[in-house]
Chains A and B, each alone.
Chain A
Amino acid sequence: MSGAVLAFWGQHAPVLSVLLPSFTAVALLLLGDQGGLSPQGGGHEGQRLAWRRRLSFASALLGLVMAAALVARASSGELQVYELGEWPAPFGIVLVLDRLSALMVLLTYAVAVPVLAYACGGWDTHGRHFHTIFHFQLMGLSGAFLTGDLFNLFVFFEVLLIASYVLLLHGRGGARLRMGVHYVVLNLTASSLFLIGLAMLYAVTGTLNMADAALKVAALQGQELRLAQSAALVLLVVFGLKAALVPLYFWLPGTYAAASAPVAALFAIMTKVGVYAIVRVHWVIFGIDAGQASLTVQPWLLPAALLTSVLGVLGALAAHTLSRLVAYLTVSSVGTIVAGVALFTPQALSAALYYTLHSTVVMAGLFLFVELAAAQRGVTGDRLQPAPQVHEPVLLGVMMLFGAASAAGLPPLPGFLGKVMLLQSAADLVARVWVWTVVLGVGFLTLLGLARAGIILFWHVQPADGANPAGRSARLLAAPWLFMGMTVALAAAAGPVKAYTDALAQQITDKRGYAGVVLARQGGPDQPTTRPYDGRRAPTAPAAAPSAPDTRQEHRP
């Protein structure tokens, strides 16, 4: 029995990670959610709430197990191609499980499970259908990480964005609505740009399959090359907006600060979707050895990343609330990650990915910490001004010290290791001076900003204004601790994790190997398959004497 289950999973592993959250969301939708009920509420509704939580949490746990199994499978170096509807790539849509996608799915679930546990502490009753939307969000994230098709990537982007719009508004309130309007309009505009970029790429390559596009782009020349490069830059704008790079990060601090704590913590992974897309498109398709299109975006990406890192940390220094401070640190950490990506060497990519794991987990933990501290401080909330002492100064203080040291990159925490790897990987490059200056300077300023916040939070205290029991439940405290535990685990297991990301970077660099597996049923990377569409039949088709150029076509590329 279990053998059959395992065999079934082995055969359908990639798609099951997308289907599980999708079916869970539908089941939760059928279960219904009237909302507005206190967590302790009794009666019929209270039972349904309990069932919603059980179902949602069980599904997330199962997803975590499946994601861990995906990583275990991918770590052997095997690529699994899942053809949806059994149409072979590049004509059908495929899901591709490689080391990168497996790692990102695992990261998603590693963030999602503690966040869900935290949300079950009460946030999920502040509005309707929290769990449903949460699982749709997970579906979008898993799909975006697993797909091997660019248009499919767009579709999953839309799924995760629509879910994120609703999650952002969860709990309502004027600030969330106002930020919600900005966030939604910006992202819809970005989606339009995404489509424009994809259409341009399709026009010159005739394919939307990532593996195929990587081969086709490398062969482009002349005018078509220019068009493909423009497409790369248009897509960079789109992904830069998601990842919050300069000059497209202005939406992030306000939005994340306005979102409810569990949602902000989950959104720590959302910026990484932008980073992931940059790796897939600009690293693989337009990256090294892409013919004349090689490194199209590097002149833009590296300065933008370094500037993001600096401006983010300056914003953190100037922040007047704790949640804004953490949101700005998120921006800053994305800058550091993308700087590693923009160096375009496998070593730097490996370091950047290790740093991604660390920064996502730490930022998610800090967002939850902020809300707990704010709740314990009473009416002052998370504003950085003297206020009554938090109720558990030692516990929260240790938590903050831990998060701050890790975010700033102090040994022996993974932030330190990630930064050292990044500095090492930049050692032989021309950009070394810039990368070293920015990474080290930003680390120092991060520490300064968090120290300032910590001093106000824990030492500048006023006499208490009465009992304030909020934010002290063990259940709420468990989730940030879980995140802190993960950072320790990342530091303790740095060797194997780094070995994995090293192998990942090698795998990403080997585009022909990737294309060989994805396009295997069409005869591998050397078999001509797609081309910009011109109405002629493919040479291999039966009726295929390559016909005379057709006069009815008005325009030839």
Chain B
Amino acid sequence: MLSMEWLVATGIGLVTATGIYLLLRGRTFPVVLGLSLLGYAVNVFIFVMGRLWTDAPPILVGAEPVADPLPQALVLTAIVIGFATTGFVVELALRSAHESGSDHVDGHEPGVRLGADQRGDGGSA
């Protein structure tokens, strides 16, 4: 029952669930945390898609079986991209909070009505 697969799968599931919960919050900080957690879960998920290996080298050394090298490369790419986008979204959230005076994802406190010129449907510049 308590195999390695079970542990890893439930671990990924738990982190994903936490990430989704945080993603659905109303403030930008939890949302950014949620995105990061979701990113971690996805990275481990990709990694596991090469199957779980014990005692197998990550690169070809001899005749013995090696762990699947491709997911490792994919994860590296995903980590780099995730890092860059997280940096961007943090900066964006800060700027949004700075300009609107609220860290709510909608740019204003819930219940506060915006004027027509602020609602974002005035398209023209």
Tell me the A residues contacting B by CB distance below 8 Å. Answer: 123, 126, 151, 155, 158, 162, 165, 169, 171, 173-182, 184-185, 188-189, 191-192, 195-196, 198-200, 202-203, 208, 254, 257-258, 260-261, 320-324, 370-371, 374-375, 381-383, 533-536, 543, 547, 550, 552-555, 557
Contact = CB atoms under 8 A, between A and B. Distances in A.
Interface string B1-44: 00111000000000000000001000010010001001100100
B105 A155 contact: no
A148 to B, nearest CB: 16
Contacts of B35: 185, 188-189, 192
A375 B124 CA distance: 7
A180 B92 contact: yes
Tell me which of B23, B107, B120 has the highest count of chain A C-beta atoms within 10 A of its own C-beta. Answer: B120
A552 B68 CA distance: 13
Contacts of A260: 125
B50 A533 contact: yes
B119 interface: yes
A140 B20 CA distance: 28
Closest 4 CB pairs of A and B: A323-B123, A175-B120, A535-B65, A178-B107
A261 B124 CA distance: 8
Contact of B46 (A177, A199, A381, A536): A199
A152 B118 CA distance: 39
Contacts of A189: 23, 35, 38
Interface in B58-90: 63, 65-68, 70-71, 74, 77-78, 81, 84-85, 88-89
A188 B70 CA distance: 23
A277 B52 CA distance: 31
A331 to B, nearest CB: 15
Contact of A185 (B51, B56, B78, B105): B105
Interface residues of B, number: 52
A155 B77 contact: yes
B123 A374 contact: yes
A174 B118 contact: yes
Nearest to B105: A181
23 contacts: A158-B85, A162-B88, A175-B120, A175-B122, A176-B120, A184-B89, A185-B23, A188-B85, A191-B81, A192-B35, A192-B38, A198-B46, A202-B70, A257-B121, A257-B123, A321-B121, A321-B123, A371-B124, A533-B50, A552-B54, A553-B51, A553-B53, A554-B5
A210 to B, nearest CB: 16
Given A175-B119, A181-B92, A199-B71, 8 more contacts: A155-B77, A158-B81, A177-B99, A191-B81, A196-B45, A203-B50, A261-B125, A535-B66
Contacts of B28: 181
Contacts of B66: 535
Contacts of B39: 192
A264 to B, nearest CB: 8
Q: Is the interface of A mostly helix, strand, loop or mixed?
A: helix
A199 B50 CA distance: 9
A174 B121 contact: no
Contacts of A180: 92, 96
A534 B56 CA distance: 12
B81 A155 contact: yes
A323 B100 contact: no
A242 B96 CA distance: 23
Contact of A181 (B71, B96, B124): B96
B42 A196 contact: yes
Given A196-B42, A535-B56, A550-B65, A178 B96 contact: yes
Contacts of B31: 185
A254 B121 CA distance: 7
B89 A370 contact: no
Given A178-B106, A195-B46, A552-B54, A321 B122 contact: yes
Contacts of A184: 85, 88-89, 92
B120 A185 contact: no
Tell me which of B35, B92, B121, B124 has the highest count of chain A C-beta atoms within 10 A of its own C-beta. Answer: B124
Contacts of A554: 3-5, 51-54
Contact of A258 (B49, B67, B85, B123): B123
A192 B38 CA distance: 7
B100 to A, nearest CB: 6
